[in-house]
Amino acid sequence: SHDLADGGLLVAIAEMAMAGRTGVALDTPPSGLPPYGWWFGEDQARYLLGTAEPDALLAAAASAGVPARIIGHADGSDGLTLPEGVTISLARLRAAHDRFFPALMDA
């Protein structure tokens, strides 16, 4: 699981994909929401969960009155695939992630 407090949903997905070393194919965001708000909205009350049993997780969430939805799936690839079909390799994401703090400290 991962909270969405720092960077939002897309950052959390990328971090989980890198940690799990598996690619992810993402579904189209819900209509009526701006894509930047869906992907990058930071919220300490939202969590990203990975599971091998999505139906059981959705049922448990529903019985507890917790809103939940499927937003994509691990696809075993080496990239993060956005709904538009654009894929960013996990290696490229990891390189950018690993450069961030050293570059910040050197600034």
Looking up residue 92, the CATH number of its domain turns out to be 3.90.650.10
pLDDT digits (tens, 9 = 90+) for 35-84: 999 999 998 889 999 999 999 999 999 999 999 999 999 999 999 999 99
Q: pTM to 2 decimals? A: 0.87
CA angle 17, 89, 102 (to 5 degrees): 80
pLDDT digits (tens, 9 = 90+) for 8-38: 999 999 999 999 999 999 999 998 989 999 9
CA 36 to chain centre: 13
Amino acid of residue 92: R
Residue 25, SS3 per DSSP: strand
Question: What is the number of domains present in the chain?
Answer: 1
